[in-house]
C-alpha cells in the first residue's frame, strides 16, 4: 500500500528563538505538521532531521517534562542533538534500579529531558508514576507487537497503557511497517486509541487482513480505510522524496566452502532436513541445526574457527577495489566479529569493533567518533548493536560477512552509511557461501518472507538435492 505524504495547511510558526542550525524546507514542513496535530507520527527515513524537528516542536510547545524512550544507540544521538540545540537539564536514566530511582527522586523537579532505553521499563516500572508533558517513542517499531490485557508483548502493553495523561505523544521511525501494515496498529494506538475503529490488534487483523502462508495481506476494501487513517494522522518522508542520498547498489560475492567444511556442512544439512521432515514442522532440534549451518558458513564449527575463505575474500576486496576506503563490515555473531577484527588488525588495518558487550555509553561513541574522523580504516560491528541512531557515513560501503536474519534490522543497518548531503550511491556487498542456506536467507530478505517460509524453502531445496520427497508438500 502506498501512503501519500500528508499535505498539511500552512501554519504560522510562533516567534521562538530557532537559531544555530537553519531548517531545510522539508524540515519546516515537518515542523508545521508536528504543530498541526496533537500526537505526531514522524515516519521519516534516517538523517532527514526528525530528531531535530521533534526537539524544535517540543521547544515551541514549551514542554517542561519530556520523556524520550529509544534504543541505547539512538539515545546517544539524542544526547548529541540536545547538546547542539543547547538544551539544558538532560537526565540519563542508566544503571541499576536503585540508581535510576535515586536519579529520578533527586532530579525530577529540576530535569527537563529524561532519556530512557526501551527496555528500561523492566528495571524502572515506576517511570509510569511520574508525570510528563510529552512522551516520545523513537524507533517506535519496538511497540508494534500485539498484546491483550494479559498476554503478548510486555513492552507494547506497558507503553500503550501508560502515559495517557501526556499532553503530546510522538512516535518516530524510518521503517514503521517492516513486516506488514499490521505493524502500524499499536504504534498509532500509543498515540491515540481513537485513531482506529477497532478496539485491539486482533480485531484489526481479523477485519482487515488475511493470512497466506503466514504472510498478512490487506483484504479487498480495507486498503482505503488504512490509507485514510495513515495519511490523515502521519507524516511520511523518504530521502528520494527530497532527492537526498544516493541509491543502494547491491553486489554478491560467492565463495566456495573448502572440502573439509563442505563435508561437515552436508552432514549437518542432511540431519537438519530429516529432523524437520520427521515431524513436518520446525522444532528446537531442527532450528539448532539450522543455526549450525549458518555458523559453518561463517567459518565456525561450534567455537572452533575452521575456514578462512570469507576472510580472504574481504582481504582481497580491501586490497583491490576498496583500497584506501573506509569500510563497515557486519557479522551476525560475536565470535565472527572478534575473528574479523583480529585478522584485519594483524594485516595492519586500523580496526574498531562494536558488539553486544562493548559499553554503550562510553566506548561505542568513542569508536564511532574515531571512525567518522577517519582515524579508523574499518569498523566491524554486529548490526543489532548500531542499527538505530548511528552515523557511519564516513564510509559508503558495507560488507556483510554474515547477514542478520530480520529484514528490519538489515534495512535499518544499511541506512547507517547513507550520506544525505550527497547523491553518491552506497555499496552493499554480501559474501555468500555458494549452495548453502545463506542463499535462502538473502532470498528471504528480498521477498520479506517469514522465518517459517524461509525454513520451508530451505527444506524443499534440500529435498530436491537429496531426492527426499516426503514430509513437506512440493
Confirm if 338 and 420 have CB atoms less than 8 A apart.
no
- As a whole number of angstroms, the distance between CA 116 and CA 34 comes to 22
Q: Which pLDDT tens digit goes with each residue over 413-470?
A: 898 888 877 778 889 999 999 999 998 888 878 777 777 777 777 888 888 887 765 4
* Backbone angle region of 455, left / alpha / beta, with phi > 0 → left and psi within -120 to 50 → alpha: alpha
- Looking at per-residue confidence, does 284 or 97 come out higher? 97
- As a whole number of angstroms, the distance between CA 33 and CA 12 comes to 11
pLDDT band at 100 (very low <50, low <70, confident <90, very high): very high
pLDDT band at 299 (very low <50, low <70, confident <90, very high): very high
- As a whole number of angstroms, the distance between CA 32 and CA 49 comes to 14
Q: Which pLDDT tens digit goes with each residue over 210-235?
A: 987 777 889 988 999 999 999 999 99
pLDDT band at 242 (very low <50, low <70, confident <90, very high): confident
Tell me if residue 56 falls in helix, strand or coil.
helix
- As a whole number of angstroms, the distance between CA 171 and CA 243 comes to 24
Overall CATH class of domain 248-466: alpha beta
- Looking at per-residue confidence, does 18 or 172 come out higher? 172
Does 158 score more than 70 pLDDT? yes
Residue 251, burial from CB neighbour count under 10 angstroms (0-12, 13-18, 19+): exposed
pLDDT band at 288 (very low <50, low <70, confident <90, very high): confident
- As a whole number of angstroms, the distance between CA 287 and CA 283 comes to 6
Does 5 score more than 50 pLDDT? no
Q: Give the pLDDT score at 471.
A: 44
Confirm if 377 and 327 have CB atoms less than 8 A apart.
yes
Q: Give the pLDDT score at 285.
A: 62
Report the range of poorest mean pLDDT among 3-17, 28-42, 91-105, 199-213.
3-17
In the chain, domain spans: 25-237, 248-466
| CATH number for the domain running over 25-237 | 3.40.50.10810
- As a whole number of angstroms, the distance between CA 374 and CA 97 comes to 38
CB-side neighbour CA atoms (13 Å) of 336: 24
Q: What mean pLDDT comes out for the span 245-261?
A: 88
Shortest CA distance to 32 belongs to which of 59, 60, 8? 8
pLDDT band at 6 (very low <50, low <70, confident <90, very high): very low
Domains 25-237 and 248-466 share a fold: yes
Q: Give the pLDDT score at 443.
A: 82
What's the predicted TM-score (pTM) here? Answer: 0.73
Amino acid at each position: 500500500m502506498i501512503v501519500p505524504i500528508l499535505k498539511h495547511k500552512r501554519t504560522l510558526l510562533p516567534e521562538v528563538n530557532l537559531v544555530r542550525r537553519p531548517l531545510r524546507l522539508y524540515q519546516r514542513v515537518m515542523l508545521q505538521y508536528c504543530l498541526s496535530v496533537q500526537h505526531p507520527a514522524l515516519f521519516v527515513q534516517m538523517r532527514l532531521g526528525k530528531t531535530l524537528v521533534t526537539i524544535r516542536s517540543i521547544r515551541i510547545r514549551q514542554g517542561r517534562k519530556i520523556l524520550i524512550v529509544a534504543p541505547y544507540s539512538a539515545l546517544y544521538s539524542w544526547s548529541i542533538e540536545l547538546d547542539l540545540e543547547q538544551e539544558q537539564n538532560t537526565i540519563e536514566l542508566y544503571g541499576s534500579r536503585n540508581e535510576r530511582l535515586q536519579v529520578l527522586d533527586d532530579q525530577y523537579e529540576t530535569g527537563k529531558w529524561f532519556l530512557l532505553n526501551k527496555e528500561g521499563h523492566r528495571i524502572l516500572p515506576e517511570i509510569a508514576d511520574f508525570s510528563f508533558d510529552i512522551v516520545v517513542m523513537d524507533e517506535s517499531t519496538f511497540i508494534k507487537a500485539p498484546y491483550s490485557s494479559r498476554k503478548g508483548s510486555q513492552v507494547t502493553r506497558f507503553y500503550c497503557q501508560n502515559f495517557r495523561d501526556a499532553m503530546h505523544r510522538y512516535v518516530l521511525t524510518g521503517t514503521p511497517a517492516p513486516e506488514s501494515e499490521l505493524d502500524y496498529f499499536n504504534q498509532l494506538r500509543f498515540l491515540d486509541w481513537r485513531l482506529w475503529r477497532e478496539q485491539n490488534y486482533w480485531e484489526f487483523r481479523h477485519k482487515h487482513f488475511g493470512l497466506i502462508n503466514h504472510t498478512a495481506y490487506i483484504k479487498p476494501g480495507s486498503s482505503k480505510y488504512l490509507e485514510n487513517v495513515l495519511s490523515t494522522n502521519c507524516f511520511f518522508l523518504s530521502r528520494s522524496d527530497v532527492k537526498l542520498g544516493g541509491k543502494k547498489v547491491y553486489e554478491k560475492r560467492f565463495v566456495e566452502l573448502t572440502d573439509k567444511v563442505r563435508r561437515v556442512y552436508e552432514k549437518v544439512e542432511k540431519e537438519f532436513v530429516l529432523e524437520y521432515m520427521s515431524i513436518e514442522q520446525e522444532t528446537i532440534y531442527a532450528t539448532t541445526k539450522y543455526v549450525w549451518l549458518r555458523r559453518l558458513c561463517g567459518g565456525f564449527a561450534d567455537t572452533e574457527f575452521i575456514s578462512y575463505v570469507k576472510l580472504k575474500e574481504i582481504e582481497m576486496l580491501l586490497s583491490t577495489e576498496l583500497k584506501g576506503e573506509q569500510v563497515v563490515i557486519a557479522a551476525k555473531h560475536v565470535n565472527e566479529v572478534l575473528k574479523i577484527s583480529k585478522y584485519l588488525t594483524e594485516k595492519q588495518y586500523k580496526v574498531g569493533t562494536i558488539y553486544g558487550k562493548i559499553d554503550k555509553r562510553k566506548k561505542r561513541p568513542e569508536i564511532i567518533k574515531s571512525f567518522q574522523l577517519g582515524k579508523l580504516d574499518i569498523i566491524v560491528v554486529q548490526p543489532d548493536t548500531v542499527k538505530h541512531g548511528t552515523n557511519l557515513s564516513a564510509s559508503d560501503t558495507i560488507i556483510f560477512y554474515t547477514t542478520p536474519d530480520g529484514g528490519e534490522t538489515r534495512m535499518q543497518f544499511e541506512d547507517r552509511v547513507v550520506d544525505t548531503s550527497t547523491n553518491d550511491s552506497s555499496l552493499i556487498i554480501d559474501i555468500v557461501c555458494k549452495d548453502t542456506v545463506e542463499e535462502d536467507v538473502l532470498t528471504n530478505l528480498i521477498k520479506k518472507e517469514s522465518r517459517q517460509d524461509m525454513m520451508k524453502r530451505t527444506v524443499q531445496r534440500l529435498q530436491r538435492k537429496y531426492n527426499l520427497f516426503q514430509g513437506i508438500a512440493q
